[in-house]
Structure 1
Amino acid sequence: MKASELRTKDVAALEKEVSDLLKAHFGLRMQKATQQLSNHTVLRKTRRDIARAKTVLNEKKKEAAK
């Protein structure tokens, strides 16, 4: 997911996106642990999407606090 797509969402939608991504990342980690995951690059992409979403969420919260 691109940062520009995330910036169009509101704070509630971003929080939901972060929680969904965290759940997906947990599932992928479990698949990796049980050696069911064939494409390990998905873990990296999910982790970076989480970081991107959290960054945009923090920007929105700081902007709202001003």
Structure 2
Amino acid sequence: MRRRRQRPRAAVDALLTGGSAIADAALGAGFADQAHLTRTGRALAGRPPASPRERRRAPRQP
């Protein structure tokens, strides 16, 4: 179970800190492809793994 959460966390960390492409982050974390990372992220967190990065980029509303 621990490994199941470590890989998505590693991929999200790569997305947030390194600015990696989603596919590169997925492969670097040990997923078969971007879709595998996305499916796993949705199953565990209820949202796609790239959503934290998208929220960081979104302009703040007044």
TM-score of the superposition, structure 2-length normalised?
0.37
Which of the pair is proportionally richer in helix? 1
The structure with higher relative contact order (CA 8 Å, sep 6+) is 1
